[in-house]
Structure 1
Amino acid sequence: MTRNQYILSSLVLLGSIGALGGCSSEEAVSATGDQVILVGTQNDYPPFAFADDNNQLTGYDVDVVKAIDEQLDGYTFEFVAVPWDSMFLALESNKIQAIADQVAKTPERQEKYLFTDESYFAAETVIAVASGREDIQTIEDLEGKAVGALAGDSYTLLLEEYNETADEPINLKYSESGNPSEILQDVQNGRVDAYVNDPIMMNEVLEKNDLGVEIVGQSLVNDDMGIVLKNGEDGEELKALLDPIIEQLKQDGTLSELSTKWTGGDYIPE
């Protein structure tokens, strides 16, 4: 069984790992002789992936990968903090070999990237508005409104697809910082009318920052999250190893325990 050798990188940007760009996953070997798999995740998406008080990456997604690593011989998983807007570029250029960052299995992504068949989390999509606001409850109510967005995430893709047939398009305001907490502050301050994202993450940020924002209406959609790999022989090989382990972690209750630990509920898909 592989030795748990985690480099919990803090605030590592894409440029900081540029030196890895010419290395294939076969060329990266740990001190114990294991093949190193660099796993990209964010450092500002609690409780799934974030930097703790010691600038160490932690959270549900990080713990899931650790649990996988404990069961997988010959591989060592090391974490790299990558901004969301650089995540897939890092995967495509082999600066990382996997993504564990609450990535929904959308058809568009599955055409371009390789996902584990086994999902490790089931997430909702909801709307957040300034506390006390009553005119927004559904996605239709967002038409003509300014809504904070992160380019390329599944929540933004949902709104972009809605705009293709909307009577009046939603005015998407793309964040330059890529930080969900800043978008929620914009909701509180009235810079945008709403934000669409995962309720668990948003509630965590709202409580931590004491923001006057609340979640309204019913869930817009439910998504299953998978580990993302690069298309190709290496990705297929790793996927074949990961899927049985994720299934095992579902069956033995490990994922349910981690979900309850980090989110307060059991959100593990069957």
Structure 2
Amino acid sequence: MRTALRIALAASAALLTLGVAQAQEKTLRIGTEGAYPPFNNLTADGQLVGFDIDIAKALCDEMKVTCSFVAQDWDGIIPALQAGKFDAIVASMSITPERAEKVDFTNKYYNTPPAIAAPKDSDIKGVTKEDLAGKTIGVQAATTHFNYSTKTYADSTIKPYPTAQEYQLDLANGRVDAVNDDITVIEGWLATPDGACCKLIGAITPDIEIHGPGAGIAVRKGDTALVDQFNKAIDAIRANGKYKEINDKYFKYDVYGGES
């Protein structure tokens, strides 16, 4: 009997050890676009890099899970999450009521304003509806920036693009008069040789109903446990200095923004 009991206890201990090991080895699949520098981008050798990627890795470390990344076109990223292609989206996705009907969001992990850029010889003086009347504005489709441009710049032609790189190319080549995107994306591009053609016109005061309170991590509806894990991890890396370390790698100011 004692021998049988020892065998049973040993088997239980082995199963417990296996369960702990499996928990430690859990892989969290992260979906991201890979075409939105400096937040996420694919290098020439196929590596995903950027602020979103580094933040996701830091959060996974804090949560003690292994991260794997999946590149996904922006316009299909929410359907891919819903279909189970990955477990969470870390791709500079603004938290909006429309999206919150399809996914659940964490708290924000950054919040930066939108802006307008134009060629250096442009006569555009500001970012208002009147300033941009009669102009063609390039903007990435299916984004808060597209929604804002469509609503606000009613006297302009709004031209949607699949990626930021495509509207940037058209602005550089004179096929649009201006572009609308996150200020950090615009400033990052303007600092490159490809962006030498153009200038920042100015920042736009965010419309909370359109732009939301910032960028959050999206998970499938009802996955509240994962939301809670991410929120705790976001608070932790903000407190322990890891967030600032990543922030300072990409930006000269705190992109977290004011409390929302």
TM interval, shorter chain, is: 0.7 to 0.9
What's the counterpart of residue 247 of structure 1?
Answer: 235
Q: Pick one of 99, 120, 133 that aligns with 2:122.
A: 133
2:55 to 64, 74, 89: 64
RMSD value over aligned CA atoms?
Answer: 2.0
Give the whole-Å Cα distance in 1 for the aligned partners of 2:111 and 2:148. 16
Q: Which residue does the alignment assign to 2:173?
A: 189
Query: What is the CA distance between 1:53 and its match in structure 2?
Result: 4.4
Structure 1 ranges of 4+ moved more than 3 A: 31-35
Of 246, 255, 258, the residue aligned with 1:267 is: 255
Could you state the TM-score of these two structures normalised by the residue count of structure 1? 0.78
- 2:199 is aligned to 214
CA shift at 1:241, angstroms?
Answer: 1.0
- SS state of the match for residue 264, structure 1? coil
CA–CA separation in structure 1 for the residues paired with 2:69 and 2:56: 9
Q: Give the letter aligned to residue 215 of structure 1.
A: L
Which letter does structure 2 place at the counterpart of 1:251?
A
Residues 202 and 217 from structure 1, CA distance in 2 versus in 1: closer, same or farther, beyond 3 angstroms? closer
Deviation at 1:134, TM superposition (A): 2.5
Structure-2 change in CA distance of 1:189 and 1:53 (3 Å): closer
Gaps of 5+ in 2: 1-20
- Deviation string 1:76-118 (CA, Å, 9 cap, x unpaired) is 221111111221121122212211111111222223321102x
The aligned counterpart of 1:14 is none
Secondary structure in structure 2 of the residue aligned to 1:142: coil
- Structure 1 or 2: larger helix share? 2
Pairwise CA distance, 1:125? 0.2
Q: CA deviation at 1:130?
A: 0.8
Give the aligned residue type for 2:113.
E
The answer as to whether partners of 1:127 and 1:195 remain within 8 angstroms in 2 is yes
TM-aligned CA distance change 1:156 to 1:185, over 3 Å: same
Which residue number in structure 2 is paired with residue 43 of structure 1? 34
Which of residues 159, 181, 196 in structure 2 aligns to 1:173?
A: 159
Task: Flag the structure with larger Rg.
Answer: 2
Partner of 2:139: 149
Question: Are the counterparts in 1 of residues 38 and 51 from structure 2 also a CA contact under 8 Å?
Answer: yes
TM-score, with structure 2 as normaliser? 0.81
**Contact 2:112–2:256 (Cα < 8 Å) also in 1:** no
Q: Alignment identity in percent?
A: 29
